[in-house]
Structure 1
């Protein structure tokens, strides 16, 4: 049976269902340590569609019962034997338009729920000394959802990483909860997060999954994709403007008097030694780490990026056809996938594929099947292994 999708719209805070819409040209993605994105559209072809759309995106601008900023879209996947929730996205943008031909059209954009947390500012001093990084992240998430009109019901599992640090965020820093959690994760000995939504006991659940040091079943089976076969497209990018050979991190002032003005602290530079010794030029990168005053933590942040983005950042992607019973789902982000390619660039050698690589999947963009194209596609983003 062909895979089918339903797009169910609900209230952001209460998750009370509003209606579902037959969207087209949908794509949505998941990423480790980053918010996922959503896009889709709907031609308004008749009055019935218009009435349903009006419940989700009111035509009356004075109707505050729904619309962008207040609603989420749940992407429900039915493979014929099981219904699964493959993503929930906060709808922040809608555009209704009509061209010279055809009916009016509404286009929607959204982001995963951790992206919403970047719209909630830390407006009171947040201070932790000698505290586990994961505990700090949990405290930030708890505090964010305890504020008026912010309770999303996002769970964050118990446990710790064993890595301690200080964190000071002043109310004057204009920092937000989402970015602060992300920067906690992106350090040497950091942890990983993924905004996951799923069905349990017939109810929709929201959880910011975390793991230290890595998400996914890193020692288990690999998901297999091959060309010819279910690999539809592939690419390899190298981008020196996203990398660097000399990294610094910039934090806040070490002055404990939050009312006094003073300059930010900088880490000592961390160099990509292997690249420089091989003849690469100096390419400077300075990264901001709001709220951090500990020189060792700043250097740890710089060292993380010097290791993961040394020289030119290489991005490996593959677009694959998903089977209805695929083992690789958004809930499995962080697992390994094995890619086997046979083409003019990588011909067969001794009767077997010359390109065989196994990488962690750190991002996946889903493109559901459409009328006229029954293929369900996933664009996989792989993590390049760093020595």
Structure 2
């Protein structure tokens, strides 16, 4: 069996592994409203020539990824069977004839000038695409293909908004566009593309206002707080977190209020305000305790709960100098973060390593930090996580510059860095 050299060459030119190509194709499929079912095994079958003519949707996605035709990528359709000399009657023509004979032509032939209508089913389809993107984010974090797909989803929602059947449908489509844009912004934050994230958040906030959607508004302010945090603009991070607390949904539902208070606690800890940080953590824990289980929640906030609050507590405790409490909180978080949240588990593991390092437990800290690479095996490490590992390495060589295990971890760090 001959391999597909054209596809292999195209992958090498773009620097794509089989796993990365599978992700890129899935993003395109999700953006088009379909399930992302392509695996690295699917790609391997393409490369080895076992599959010579992918499914039409997969071909379209491949063409979009590489910017050329399936034929240029080395694929060819199977030989066609000989057709009968007497082709079967077109069922559409037959239906038109039958209805015409009963005087019901208008029921079959649409009015040429009719404007297409957009309704609830379109909103649901777009929402399902958004949910699929969030699933992709949970496994590998923010990246360029995810951001591009989210922006395409937002553009699709805004095009359909112009054709909305009712004002309610149009507002719901504005809401979907706001969520897609906020997803793109979040992907940019995770990839540490801060200027682009800021622009996208401004757009998302505008769309949330057009939609009159307090949930989308709260999401944007939460992301603004994270953006300011990663820019070391700690006062702005606190202000954004307070804005999230002030949204209608946070005032009405304790679950959303809890996240806003936890984000505020991180901002205060970065400013060195110990009492304010602990007070906000207490508010977050109290609000989460009041949240009612079983409430339908948007997919973007599915990451939050007791486990994530413990992970955020670990950040706060470490920043205010309580390294032992930070380590304990990290262990609690890792004990309950769902396994599908691979990126979040890797981040919590890196935070655990920092807490151990700040207690001068160098050997254990290095062992813990090394598992981050294992957790993210097969996927590029998002920029936000790379920055956190960079913080760990700087603290490591500051606290134990001559320790042999520190040098060994540094070698591993540089090796993984160059590979990823």
More helix by share: 2
Task: Answer 1 or 2: higher relative contact order, Cα 8 Å, separation at least 6.
Answer: 1
Q: Which has the larger radius of gyration?
A: 2
> Which bracket does the TM-score occupy, shorter chain normalised?
under 0.3
- TM-score, normalisation: structure 1: 0.25
